A and B are shown apart, each in its own frame.
Chain A
């Protein structure tokens, strides 16, 4: 589904990603962990098409298409979804209006018929249950004045509405208390299917108790320096990142 080969990316001339290789197949959950500043969020942003990052080398194919060649909206329409680390507050645009525009633009691209107001609302009601999101938030301006937990739930709710094939959760767990974490994870798990894949970018192992990964990758200094099964996450929780840093830094000396 997703194939990343030797991906290099920089921001304002500073290289951040220095040769990422990653293969993701349908139905898989990949966790990407690593210390702060290792490039985790950059990877998520580059995949979603954030303009500030310049890809300097390498390729990314998504379902056979050159992902890097697509603008952000077309990536979303192709089925890539980024749950933002910091969801943006947009005054004056109601969540409902925003989502209806998004869903219908995505549907148009995929050759599906547009949803009228009635069908859209019933779809919304169904998906809202997944993340136990309050109806009242829907008529308010997008994310404006939402609590941290509400914003993250709203991200997963949008994911449910857009039905992506590849979801990238960028530190969706950061700042969540245990109840909110359960709700968010539960939503993600219910959306999992043999046809879609998830990349979970996180700093903390705790999330992976709820969203169980098939693979865990450790990102450090812009490269994946270690990959393993979910046990790797437990090792990291116990021992921290220092042993990995030492391995890598020692080897490169």
Chain B
């Protein structure tokens, strides 16, 4: 009953909803459709999306609601985007679908398959971590993903080389691109993912991705992401992890450009001894809008979470940071730290920052804080008074601010790459 939907854009999406080729997942998709029918995409006043009006943005820019077509993409284009000196398993996503011809990986210590080839047992897992009812865009992705990708790391295996995951996205008349990934890391495993999102042209597309990650007991996963898209790119990504006993998960997000980007990052700390880390850096100019919504759920005793997000905003850019921390009654001896610091370089730049802590346990250490300021004139003068040119001094100060986040990158080649991107951006801010 489309009459129940809340807004026009939801109807357009629902009309285009198409069943996946993976029969095991049809029931899940139907759940997504039902959810959207009942709830719709967020209305203007929806609390969770009140600074990031995606429905309006999509209505104005997206018109091709059908399945995304495959872009003509060649090896040269892929090569141009590779991170220098990074020895990695290369996964290339072409408009949301894994492109096996352009990818290059050897399945040592892990296996990779399309959702269409999942066993009934494996298919059961999809949608259990990123649940449709948690977020309307996760539900939307569920109605329209084509061939999801399932990565399985068997018990005790260490994937030595990182995965380099390149998402190539094409506008194609304002199309919708819906990648869906499930990473199943069994107990005692280790892996690192480096994801880069690339726009193939300058027009608008809507990239609506869902990544579900299961980090089983005593496993250690690192996930790095760079968002440096076209100024027309619209993106929502729902990234949800279940973190089990003694496991560690670290997320790093560097956002440099996009028309409107919303990152929903959720860490479910499901057992004792586990640790979740979230680091984010957004350096924005022009009209870029980046919204980081993070969610940490402490459910059991003796788990730690650390969160540090920093932003530098110039021109008419806008940043949103919303950090939720839940500490449930059983989660005694929790350590949860959250910090968000911002520098506004122009009068027209905006940051909305909001920590949200809900603590039900009584023996915990939790802290949060946020600051928003301008570049420190006194510090600038101090450096100038020592003979350092104003531009150089400004760069030094901004880089010092941003560098604290980059220090959390553990892969040297990737760190170098990020440093060069950050320095280039700071030079122009």
- What are 22 inter-chain pairs, A to B, with CB distance below 8 A? A48-B385, A49-B385, A71-B390, A72-B381, A72-B385, A73-B385, A73-B387, A76-B387, A81-B385, A84-B382, A87-B382, A90-B397, A90-B400, A91-B400, A93-B396, A101-B396, A102-B383, A105-B387, A106-B386, A141-B400, A162-B386, A162-B387
B contact residues vs A (CB 8 Å cutoff): 376-379, 381-390, 392-393, 396-397, 399-401, 403-404
Question: How far is it, in angstroms, between the C-alpha of A49 and the C-alpha of B146 when the chains are bound?
Answer: 63
Residues of A within 8 A of B379 (CB): 88, 90
With both beta carbons as reference points, the residue of chain A lying nearest to B384 in the complex is identified as: A72
**How distant is the Cα of A88 from the Cα of B400 in the complex, in angstroms?**
14
Q: List B contacts of A141 (CB < 8 A).
A: 400
Chain A: CB-nearest residue to B382: A88
**Interface membership of chain A positions 135-158, coded 1 if the CB is closer than 8 angstroms to chain B and 0 otherwise:** 000000100000000000000001
Contact among A48, A98, A106 for B383, CB-based, below 8 A: A98
- Using Cβ atoms and an 8 Å threshold, which residues of chain B touch A88? 376, 378-379, 381-382
B390 neighbours in A (Cβ, 8 Å): 71, 73
Bound together, the chains give a CA A87 to CA B384 distance in angstroms of: 13
The CA of A48 and the CA of B403, in the complex, are separated in Å by: 30
Q: Which of chain B's residues has its CB closest to A89's CB?
A: B379
Q: Distance in Å from the Cβ of B105 to the closest Cβ of chain A?
A: 37
| Contact yes or no, A76 B400, CB < 8 A | no
Is A50 an interface residue, CB under 8 A from the partner? yes
**Closest CB pairs A-B (n = 5):** A92-B400, A76-B387, A72-B384, A106-B387, A102-B386
Flag if A105 contacts B401 (CB, 8 Å): no
Q: Which residues of A contact B378 (CB under 8 A)?
A: 88
Q: How many residues in A have their beta carbons less than 8 Å from beta carbons of B?
A: 30
Using known A-B contacts A88-B379, A92-B401, A92-B404, determine if residue A105 contacts B385 with beta carbons closer than 8 Å.
no
Q: How far apart sit A81 and B382, CA to CA, in the bound complex (Å)?
A: 11
For A99, what are the chain B residues with a Cβ–Cβ distance below 8 Å? 386
Q: A98-B396, A101-B392, A105-B392 are in contact. Are A82 and B385 (CB under 8 A)?
A: yes
Residues on the A chain within 8 Å of B383, using CB? 90, 98, 102
In the complex, which residues of chain A have a beta carbon less than 8 angstroms from the beta carbon of B381?
50-51, 72, 88
Specify the chain B residue showing the minimal Cβ separation from A45. B381
Contacts of B403 in A (CB 8 A): 92
Given contacts A84-B382, A88-B378, A92-B404, contact A73 B388 (CB under 8 A): yes
Pairwise interchain contact A76-B396, C-beta atoms closer than 8 A: no
State A91–B403 Cα separation when bound (angstroms): 10
Given contacts A92-B401, A93-B397, contact A73 B382 (CB under 8 A): no
A105 to B389, Cβ gap below 8 A?
A: yes
* B387–A102 CB distance below 8 A: yes
**A203 on the B face (CB < 8 A):** no
Q: Assuming A48-B385, A81-B385, what are 5 further A-B pairs, CB within 8 angstroms?
A: A49-B384, A73-B388, A76-B386, A76-B387, A92-B403
B34 to chain A, nearest CB (A): 50
**B residues less than 8 Å from A51 (CB atoms):** 377, 381
Provide the residues of chain B in CB contact with A98, threshold 8 Å: 383, 386, 388, 396
Name the B residues within 8 Å of A158 (CB-CB): 386
CB-based nearest A residue for B396? A93
- Interface status of A221 (Cβ within 8 A of chain B): no
A77 within 8 A of B: yes
Residues of chain A with a CB closer than 8 A to B386's CB: 76, 98-99, 102, 106, 158, 162
The CA-CA distance from A82 to B376 in the complex, in Å, is 19
Separation in Å of the A145 CB from the closest CB of chain B?
15
- On chain B, the residues within 8 Å of A92 by CB distance are 399-401, 403-404
Q: Residues 51-75 of chain A: 1 if any B CB is under 8 Å from the residue's CB, otherwise 0?
A: 1000000000000000000011101
Kindly identify which residue among A50, A71, A75, A93 contacts B400, using a CB–CB cutoff of 8 Å: A93
Which residues from B are CB-within-8-Å of A81? 385
Most A CB contacts (10 A, CB to CB) among B377, B385, B399, B401 go to B385
Residues of chain A contacted by B399 (CB below 8 angstroms) = 92
- Residue on A nearest B386 in the bound complex, by CB: A102
**A52 closest partner in B (C-beta):** B377
Contacting pair B396 A77 (CB below 8 A): no
Closest to A79 in B: B387
B377, B389, B399: residue with the most chain A Cβ atoms closer than 10 Å:
B389
Closest-CB distance, A115 to chain B (whole angstroms): 13
Task: Give the complex CA separation of A101 and B390 in angstroms.
Answer: 12
Chain A residues with Cβ under 8 A from B404's Cβ?
Answer: 92
Residues of B within 8 A of A48 (CB): 385
Which residues of the other chain, A, contact B401 by a CB distance below 8 angstroms?
A: 92
Separation in Å of the B181 CB from the closest CB of chain A? 35
